[in-house]
Amino acid sequence: MAWIAWNKIQCSKSEGGLGMRDLHVFNKALLAKQAWRVLTNTSSLMARVLKGKYFPNSDFMNAKILSGISYTWRSILSVRELISKGALKTMGKGNNVDIWKESWVPKLPNFRVFTRQNPITDGCN
């Protein structure tokens, strides 16, 4: 049996590999795609059914992981952190945005506003 290194196997065929994917990463990407659909397309049948069954009183990003939920829903919930790392909120009028908790500033670390530990005062105590 001829053993070949994984990094050689997962190279594309044009580079001399077999073009195989890292299935764990590929599965996370597919789950993230479904999570993104639930998050952004709230009027779709899938999003409405999942909301009605699993998180009727909250939003997708704050849905609780309860006992007895399906394996599929638990898997979709497992990629929320991955989604939150790359997702930004569009401000619009800003009426429904919590500027301290939500990611919305593209040039700041984690896209969030942060406060200093010792805020600067105007000299008055």
pLDDT tens, residue order, the chain (125 aa):
778 787 778 788 888 777 777 788 889 999 999 999 998 899 999 999 999 999 999 989 888 988 889 999 999 999 998 887 776 666 666 666 666 666 656 566 655 556 655 445 544 44
> How far is C-alpha 33 from the chain's CA centre?
9
Q: What is the pTM of this model?
A: 0.63
Closest CA to 38 of 21, 19, 62, 17: 62
Yes or no: say if 77 and 65 are a contact pair by the CB < 8 Å rule: yes
Measured CA to CA, the distance from residue 16 to residue 11 in angstroms comes to 7
Three-state SS letters, 26-92 = HHHHHHHHHHHHHHHCCCCHHHHHHHHHHCCCCCHHHCCCCCCCCHHHHHHHCCHHHHHHHCCCCCC
Q: Residue 6 is inside which H or E element, if any?
A: helix 6-9
Q: How many Cβ atoms are within 10 Å of 79's Cβ, its own excluded?
A: 19
